Amino acid sequence: MGKMENPDGVGKVGNLICGDVIWLYIKVKEDQKTGKRKIVDLKFQTFGCVVAIAVSSIITTLAKGKTLEEALKITKDDVLKMSGKLPLIKVHCSILADDALHESIFDYLFKNKLPIPKELQERHKKIQKHLKIIEERYKEYVNLEKKILEK
Ligand code: FES
């Protein structure tokens, strides 16, 4: 948990239902032998409920050590399975984590001018659209978030 210094990729996602936000930071290293890029470290800052915080932690466990290709296959169901039995009303809180992971990978690929799979591009567009709605809906909260992150 916490902010990562000089992350290779950052994913920011928000929950349309409640406005909670996850920042997920990744460090990526290229394996010299295979040429595959692996997620070697992750950190998160989550402005949300206890379930949002728990699933942020879960996604770091699921994705650490995975290649980017493997990490992109992690689903909401994987996160939900590892969360145990969530009350139905809290299931929506678990959907942010894998979006955050996908966004951080998108950011990494984009910054490094690497090919971005079409599915990931479409998902990115949808997530960004949701973020804009959230930032408009929760302006005060977003300003508070900025102040906290600047510290
Ligand atoms: S209440 Fe917003 S993510 Fe849980």
Q: How far is the CA of 6 from the centre of ligand 1 (A)?
A: 28
Average pLDDT over every residue of 12-17 = 85
Give the distance (Å) from ligand 1 centre to CA of residue 12. Answer: 15
Q: Which residues line ligand 1 (CB under 6 A)?
A: 15, 18, 20, 48-49, 51-52, 93
Task: Look at residue 105 and tell me if it is in a domain.
Answer: yes
Residue 148 lies in a domain: no
54-61 — which CB contacts under 8 Å span 24+ positions? 54/83, 55/79, 55/83, 55/93, 55/94, 55/96, 55/97, 56/1, 56/22, 56/24, 56/96, 56/97, 56/100, 57/1, 58/82, 58/83, 58/97, 59/24, 59/97, 59/98, 59/100, 59/101, 60/24
Domain membership of residue 150 (yes or no) is no
| Nearest CA, atom 1, ligand 1 | 49
Q: Is the pLDDT of residue 111 over 90?
A: yes
149 in any annotated domain: no
Number of domains in the chain: 1
The whole domain housing 46 covers: 9-140
The pLDDT mean for the chain works out to 91
Residue 40 lies in a domain: yes
Of all residues in the chain, the percent with pLDDT exceeding 70 is 97
145 domain residue, yes or no: no
Domain membership of residue 2 (yes or no) is: no
In this prediction, residue 110 carries a pLDDT of 98
pLDDT band at residue 140, thresholds of 50, 70 and 90?
Answer: confident
Q: Can you give the CATH number for the domain in which 76 is found?
A: 3.90.1010.10
Q: Name the more confident of 125 and 31.
A: 125
